[in-house]
Amino acid sequence: MHPFLQKLSERPLLCDGAMGTMLFSMGASDEQCLEYLTISRPGWITEIHQAFAAAGADVIKTHTFGANRVRLADYGLQERVRDLNFRAVKLVRDVREVVGRSLFIAGDVGPLGKRLAPYGPVTVEEATAAFQEQVSVLWEAGADLLLFETFSEIAELEIAVRAARTICDLPIVASMTYNQDGRTGAGVMPGEAVHRLTAAGAHLTGINCSVGPAPTLEVLAEMHRADGATPFSAMPNAGFPERVDGRFSYPAGPGYFARHVAPFLDNGARLIGGCCGTTPMHIREMRGALDAYLNQKGVATSRVVVPDAELPAMHIALDMALDGDAGDPHRDATELLRKIRAGKFVISVEVDPPRGFNAQKQIEGALHAKSMGADAINVADSPMARVRMSALSLCVQIQQQVGIESIVHFTTRDRSLMGLQADLIGAQALGVRNILALTGDPPSLGDSRNSTPVYDVDSIGLVRIINRFNEGFDQGDNKMGQPGNFTIAVACDPTRANLEEEADRFHQKVSGGAHFTMTQPIYDPAVWLRFLRVYEERHGDFPVPVLIGILPLQSHRHASFLHNEVPGITLSEEALERMRKAGADGRQEGVAMAQELLLQLVDAPHVQGVYLMPSFGRYEVACQVLEVLTPAQRDRR
């Protein structure tokens, strides 16, 4: 069985809405050849397809309604049949690839626009040839089904269906328009149309255009009474239009459309959607009603999540039917970012990926951190350029097995510009959306010194790449189908000798779209305050919340090693001296120092949380630092 028919046998499918209505709202003229916009304005067509896909459509129609030889001749474009139809299918294919879920491509075929002989100039042979020409291109280009729609003459539609049957084996939907009295313009009754079109080879018969949902339901019910075994399609107009300021306006709103979904389905409709006047808002509401209906019937649904914010604006006031928190910039933020914005003091604990294949110790460390009140787990990306399990894979394991958000350290060291973007797309798909943008330690520091660093961009460039994804575009300005939902973190090092240079570089990072920053470990509150003062002197108010890095020391030897050999870590002389004096009690002294520092910083300017870095995988030691915090300090608002 064809995949479309197989899916249709499992559950009803939702088609998109009105291409013409959307194009007119974007500035198209009713005097031009709308099908030529696939060449002159392909971005418009793509944007509309994306909007309907985001609204939850399962089936997207190609913009080829009038792309047959007879209609195109009115514009001198009769030799562009192949070009226009092929390009139109490709535009939907491209959208399907970006959307990343199952979408069926309906090759849309309308009537020829001129009557058949003897009442008009088009012979049966000419009509057959015209339909065969168009169908052959749609089939070759990759259409999943053929949708013959808005036919008022059943004889022409029969010719079209039979012509298609001689070309390919694609499923056929044959849909006619009916008048208010429930008959075609020539007086054909719905039951007769069902029988004739099924005999011609149609897999589904239906009604579209001409009337609104209520008259459509009446015609559909008559079809169902005539043949209860045949599946039907129903795609009404949004009511009767009236001309307002030179444009047609349709009265039937999205909610009204949604109320007709269940009656359509109860009367045999398996493919539903909208025709003239229906926008992505109508399809969005129908999506919700369709899923609710199927859930009540106990039918499994491929639930399509349709956030309001993902529906493209398309230069038109589509927000007329939106409700709730549409447009709220916080609604798609990660839980971590929501906590930061709400004023909570957040806690993150770092986990280094294993050098082998088993991450059980890291999972246990994340579980312990969560039990101690951590809000997120950081996963480093092969720190010190030593080969380890990929950070992204460990993030996925932690989120799945521990049930806590992760922050992936994402470096530009090992990835080309293409690889960076591919991995970010993968991270979004896997649900890892908190990204710490880093340049990464050079391979010369690690155990693979023959490895070649990439560094197509540094951390500043990476922030801009991620922010561009959040705007819905890749680096080539190609649309992604919907905006990304990444929370972007950047690093800063307040211990550097040249604080002016660090402040300037940090300013470039946050100007690129960062949401918060995580510092290198510090051991003296004055270090943070000094960096803050330098930044504000050079660039004004500090722009983002801060998670202060705290790395509990284990011994004087450990402290000396960090201070002298690890890039980005600088201890104060006081800290080094305290660890020297602690001797065998170095671990306890290290925890005590970290607790003192945490209490001093919890109310420091812009400090919104702590970023704990365990040494030697001793997560329980690092989490001891948190014991000093009171519930009020953790949950401050």
Using the predicted structure, report yes or no on whether residue 326 has a pLDDT greater than 70. Answer: no
At 310 the pLDDT is: 43
What's the longest Cα–Cα distance across the chain?
A: 108
Task: Pick the more confident residue, 245 or 527.
Answer: 527
22/274 Cα distance (integer angstroms): 12
Looking at per-residue pLDDT, the higher value among 306 and 237 belongs to: 237
The rounded Cα 95 to chain-centroid distance in angstroms is 12
End-to-end CA distance of the chain: 59
Query: What 3-state class would DSSP assign to 127?
Result: helix
The DSSP symbol for 101 reads: S
3-state secondary structure 166-213: HHCCCCEEEEECCCCCCCCCCCCCHHHHHHHHHHHCCCEEEEECCCCH
Q: Which residues contact 541 (CB under 8 A, 6 or more apart)?
A: none
Of all residues in the chain, what percent carry a pLDDT higher than 70?
91
> With bands split at pLDDT 50, 70 and 90, how would you rate the model's confidence at 308?
very low
pLDDT reported for residue 637: 41
Distance between CA atoms of 53 and 314, rounded to whole angstroms?
A: 14
Q: How far apart are CA 492 and CA 542, in angstroms?
A: 12
Q: Kindly state the tokens that stand for 439.
A: 């340049």
The mean pLDDT value of the chain amounts to 88
The continuous run of DSSP H or E covering 99 comes out as: helix 81-99
pLDDT in tens, 111-123: 999 999 999 999 9
Cα distance between residue 70 and residue 224, in whole Å: 34
pLDDT of residue 414: 87
- pLDDT tens for 190-226 read 999 999 999 999 999 999 987 789 899 999 999 999 9
| Whether the predicted pLDDT of 98 surpasses 90 | no
Task: Show the tokens assigned to 169.
Answer: 């084996």
Q: What pLDDT was estimated at residue 221?
A: 94
* Distance between CA atoms of residues 54 and 58, nearest Å: 10
Query: How much is the average pLDDT of 166-181?
Result: 94
Does the pLDDT of residue 307 top 50, yes or no? no
pTM for the full predicted model: 0.61
CA distances from 602 to 28, 183, 275, 525, 597 (A): 58, 75, 58, 10, 9
Higher-confidence position of 415 and 84: 84
Domains and CATH numbers, the chain: 3-321 (3.20.20.330), 335-634 (3.20.20.220)
Beta pairing partners, 624: none
Residues 6+ apart with CB under 8 A from 6: none
pLDDT score at 393: 94
Indicate the pLDDT class of residue 252, thresholds 50, 70 and 90.
confident
Instruction: Judge residue 566's burial from the number of C-beta atoms within 10 Å of its C-beta, 0-12 exposed, 13-18 middle, 19 or more buried.
Output: middle
pLDDT of residue 315: 36
The phi and psi torsions of 242 (rounded to 5 degrees) equal -130, 150
Q: How many CB atoms lie within 10 A of CB 162?
A: 17
Beta bridge partners of 194: none
pLDDT value at residue 239: 67
Can you state the angle between helices 586-601 and 573-582, rounded to 10 degrees?
150
The 8-class DSSP code of residue 357 comes to: S
Could you identify the residue written with the tokens 């499994």?
A: 300
